[in-house]
Structure 1
Amino acid sequence: MPPPPAPPAAPPRRLVVAITGASGAAYGLTALRLLREDPGVETHLVVTRGARATIREELGTPVPGLAALADVVHSEGNLGASIASGSFRAHGMLVAPCSVKTLSGIATSCADNLVVRAADVMLKERRRLVLLLRETPLHLGHLRLMTAATEAGAVVMPPVPAFYAHPKSLDDMVEFTVVRALDLLDAGTAPIPRWRGNDAPPRTPHP
């Protein structure tokens, strides 16, 4: 008797990664690198025009080299891309870094480019949208935009350093923030320190 057919492979979990023109291009680069290590994730990348200049200035990395870390790359102006439709099954989206201009578009549903349109799709389909907003200090207009985006369902996550993780370098600080952001999207394979509570029993060492 022939063996039973193998079960169909699980479809990939699609994540959209957008890099906008705010300072902090390393967050987007690190997200792509970590997601590349997760075999169950298919990444869809959008890089804005402003981000291209920031990437050259901060990373010294050409955009084609960065784009090679993604499974699919979309043009910022292509509003007919797959990720612009709610019928395209995507698990969530990370905007890293997120500029105030992009935040404004998301908060007001002004989808004049693919980043904002894809983010708007995530919100209307009740999917997870994480925004690594890079701006400081904040004025009242910024705060109102953050409130509006949060009320619509986005997670606004300013990339604040976590000193309790005892980072040894700038790369450590960036990676910790990105791992936390990916954790919100149930993605990534990098371990993350988790608080066990001060009343948790001590761990039993392995023999």
Structure 2
Amino acid sequence: MTKPLIVGVSGASGLIYAVRALKYLLAADYSIELVASRATYMVWQAEENIRMPTDPEEQELFWREKAGIMQGGTLNCHRWNDVGDNIASGSFRTLGMIVIPCSMSTVAKIATGLSSDLLERASDVQIKEGKPLVVVPRETPFSLIHLRNLTTLAEAGVKIVPAIPAWYHHPQTIEDLVDFVVARALDTLDIDCIPLKRWKSS
């Protein structure tokens, strides 16, 4: 049985990044353990005027509907404040973890080892266990504090993949731009499940 990938969703603008990541991961039959921070609920309300359910089973259906993948893969959702859940333990085996999108508040808390909720605790566990952790910060401009926190994470082995799209693949839609970022983030976990036109020299 394939080990699961933990997907953390923080309260940064750009929830489409999480939705598109889930779309491709579930379609490729990956097993996903998802935890959304408390602020994510507010961002759904602000960006889409949508109320994200708190019940894990209802939330699974919510994310599947948003991703447009009702069948395929496995998706287990966790309560943001359940710091005693399985993904909070170093004995829980995973492929790693990706936080997408990742707010600068979450970056700061992970960088300082502050495990005040399940997303932060799961991230901390990946670092201490030497497992892959990828963060996709969506902020601009970066302040000196942001850069120092990101540097701290990079020095601890965390991969930093800012939500910066490219144009050499000739994107036609917003989804094309988003998918480029998601694909590059998943590349760092050696996951290739997104049809992406990659760079080729002329």
d(CA) in 1 for partners of 2:92 and 2:135?
21
- Residue 33 of structure 1 is matched in structure 2 by 23
CA RMSD of aligned residues (A): 1.6
- Residue 125 of structure 1 is matched in structure 2 by 129
- Structure 2 unpaired stretches of 5+: 53-58
**Maintained 8 Å contact 2:168/2:199:** no
Superposition deviation, residue 184 in structure 1: 1.5
Instruction: Tell me the secondary structure at the aligned position of residue 164 of structure 2.
Output: coil
**Maintained 8 Å contact 1:102/1:116:** yes
TM-score by length of 1: 0.84
- Residue 86 of structure 1 is matched in structure 2 by 90
2:63 to 39, 60, 67: 67
**Maintained 8 Å contact 2:6/2:32:** yes
Instruction: Tell me the secondary structure at the aligned position of residue 163 of structure 1.
Output: coil
- Residue 8 of structure 2 is matched in structure 1 by 18
- Residue 145 of structure 1 is matched in structure 2 by 149
Residues 1:58 and 2:54 are matched in the alignment: no
d(CA) in 2 for partners of 1:118 and 1:187?
20
The alignment of Structure 1 onto Structure 2 pairs a total of residues equal to 187
2:33 to 37, 44, 66: 44
**Maintained 8 Å contact 2:19/2:63:** no
d(CA) in 1 for partners of 2:199 and 2:109?
35
The alpha-carbon distance between structure 1 residues 73 and 173, as it changes in their structure 2 partners (threshold 3 A), is same
- Residue 165 of structure 2 is matched in structure 1 by 161
**Maintained 8 Å contact 2:82/2:117:** yes
d(CA) in 2 for partners of 1:164 and 1:81?
42
- Structure 1 unpaired stretches of 5+: 1-10, 199-207
The alpha-carbon distance between structure 1 residues 94 and 66, as it changes in their structure 2 partners (threshold 3 A), is farther
Deviations 1:172-204 (A, max 9, x none): 101111111112112252223333445xxxxxx
Superposition deviation, residue 158 in structure 1: 0.7
The share of aligned pairs that are identical, in percent, is 39
Deviations 1:102-133 (A, max 9, x none): 00111010111111111111111111111110
TM-score by length of 2: 0.86
Deviations 1:59-79 (A, max 9, x none): 455433433466111111011
- Give the AA of the match of 2:130: R
d(CA) in 1 for partners of 2:183 and 2:13?
19
Residues 1:177 and 2:181 are matched in the alignment: yes
**Maintained 8 Å contact 1:16/1:44:** yes
Superposition deviation, residue 165 in structure 1: 1.5
Instruction: Tell me the secondary structure at the aligned position of residue 168 of structure 2.
Output: helix
